[in-house]
Structures are given as structure tokens and as C-alpha cells.
Structure 1
């Protein structure tokens, strides 16, 4: 009997920090996505997926300082915005954290959440550096280049279910492992991911 009580007490103590972290992540995600013009059911599903994934990164919101904590980095500025990677007028969500603490020399970290045809959100791309659209596409989705320090940058392409590494682009003639074909114009990238325009879609329905 004493052993059982001890085990239950230990289990309760172990659970409390996880519960607290989940609550902290939920509050942070709610604040992060509040400005996004999404219908309530879509936003609720997005929040659930963001809490599930970003909660593992220790996401929380400091209302007094108006900053976030993520990946152990306090006083981090974060933002979320709607993008449209495949021109179908259904938004994807790009979340960005700024600072060398989260992104190292790249200066930032990115997450991209993509909604499936069945309506389920899933985090796909997540790495430090900038995300830059290329003029090429696969199955309607824009190829993206992950820019950051150094001279070799990954190019990610949609496979039909997710973004996967296609090749590694060399900057300034740099030879990289898994080089990109010359026909892929990796030097011709845009500054920002294609924006989503709610006015031309039915995404809020």
C-alpha cells in the first residue's frame, strides 16, 4: 500500500511540469495565431497542432515583456503569417522566430504548417535560416531554398505529401554534396514566401 501511494505521488509530480508546459504552449500559440484571419474551426485545428509540435520546443508567452520563450531562448520575437505555397487559395502558415539564440548565425528559425486535403494540419518544414521561394514548382507547390550562413543551401520540393530535400545549391560556384541541376534556377529566389490573400479565397468558410 505504501509503495502504491509513493508511486502515485511520484507520477503526479512528474506530470505537473508537462501539464504546465502544455498550458504555457497553448497560451503562447493562442497569442501567436490570434491575428490570423482564419475561421474558428480551422484556427482551432491549427492551434492544436502547433501546441503539439511547438510545445516540445518549450514555447511560452511572456505577456509582461511581450516576447516568447522557445527552445530555451527567452525574450524571443516570433510571428505567424499566412502564405500560399501552391496557389490554391488555401493558406499555409509560416512561423518565424528571430534571434541568434534560436537560429545561430542564421539569425532565425522557421516552421511551416501545411493543411492536408482532409483538413488536418501538420508541421512540415522546420530549420534555421530564411525560407526563399524559387521560380520552379512541383505538383503546384513552390520549391523553397533554405538560406543561411555558408555557401551550400538546401532546396526543398513538394513530394505530394510533404516537402523533402531535393538538392543542395552552391553559392558563388561552390561545389556541394547532392548538387542541384543547372536547369534549377537557384539564384533566382524571392525575398518572401508567396503571401496568402483571404479576399480571393473561400478559406474562411
Structure 2
């Protein structure tokens, strides 16, 4: 099944594969810990990483919860939007992972739209295509310590970004 979200700030679509089962949800305590691990602070009822004063801002949101690397523990993808902080992409993502001791840890994050690919890096972590404006997107891969640039793709085909 495919789910797509429209990012109005840049009028583009981002699609990612999702499981057929009901989506996982975090408990309120886990949600708060995940946001804190991602570097967000609670401001009123909104989790924020960016101090965007504009009307286009969208506060932190747990966009997806699932076990990305098959280790039996959940990961969460946290998004936040607004061109004030995130430029033409209009959005940012942070991936956090629940640890064996119950705490949450930031795995990666950046400006753009994270799409998890079927290809994998070390320890079963999926490659991530980081979408944004344009037609040639970076794909980052887990090397055992961090996600680093692996290649560039557009619609599954190799490309060279304009410099």
C-alpha cells in the first residue's frame, strides 16, 4: 500500500511504502521521549525544533512508527515543516530509535522528505532517499555508525545532481 502526503510549500508528492497492518502508535511517555531525543522542546501544546513565526509553519509530528531495521524495537520518524527554517524543501525529518533500555536515541535527520527504500545498509537499516525540490535526490545509507551519502537517484535510477 502506498501513502502520499502533499507538501503544500513546494507542491510536491512524497510517497513511502507502509505495512498493511494498523500503524503503530507511541505511548504519551514514549512520544515525549522521542521528541526530546530528536531535539524538540514542548512549547504550549506543540513540539518545536524550529522557531518559525510564519503561518506556513507546521509543528513536530510523529509521521511514522515502525521497526525499520528488524531488531524488534520501534523507530519513529518525526517531521516539522516551514520554509522559514527548511527553505525550498519546506520540511525536515528526524529518525529516532527506541533502545533496549527503553530510552530513545536520534539516528539521523535533515532537511527534506525521508523515503525508506528496499535497499539496506549495515544491520538491516534501510537506505533513505531524501526528497526535496529538483529531480535528483541523495540516498543515504547506514554504515554501522551513521547515515552517509551513498548515491543520488530519481525514480529509482542513478542521476547526477546539478552543481
TM-score range, shorter chain: 0.5 to 0.7
1:122 matched to 2:105: yes
Query: Deviation at 1:113?
Result: 0.8
Is 1:143 equivalent to 2:127 in the alignment? yes
Alignment equivalent of 1:70, drawn from 49, 61, 78:
49
Name the residue aligned to 1:37: 26
* Higher helix proportion (structure 1 or 2): 1
Task: State the match for 2:16 in structure 1.
Answer: none
The two structures have a TM-score, normalised by structure 2, of 0.63
Q: Structure 1: which 5+ runs fail to align?
A: 1-34, 178-205
- Structure 1 position 90 matched with structure 2 position 73: yes
Between structures 1 and 2, the one with greater strand share: 2
Aligned residues: CA RMSD: 3.2
Bigger Cα Rg: 1
Aligned length: 133
Shift of residue 109 of structure 1?
A: 0.9
CA contact (8 A) 1:83 1:93 kept: yes
Deviation at 1:69, TM superposition (A): 4.4
Residue of 175, 178, 188 corresponding to 2:160: 175
TM-score, normalization by structure 1: 0.52
C-alpha distance in 2, partners of 1:128/1:162?
A: 16
Alpha-carbon shift at residue 170 of structure 1 (Å)? 5.4
Q: 1:157 aligns with which of 134, 137, 141?
A: 141
**1:98 and 1:135, CA in 2 relative to 1: closer, same or farther beyond 3 A?**
same
**How big is each residue's C-alpha offset from its partner over 1:19-71, in whole Å with a ceiling of 9 and x where there is no partner?**
xxxxxxxxxxxxxxxx943496xx28x72x7436525xxx44234xxx45432
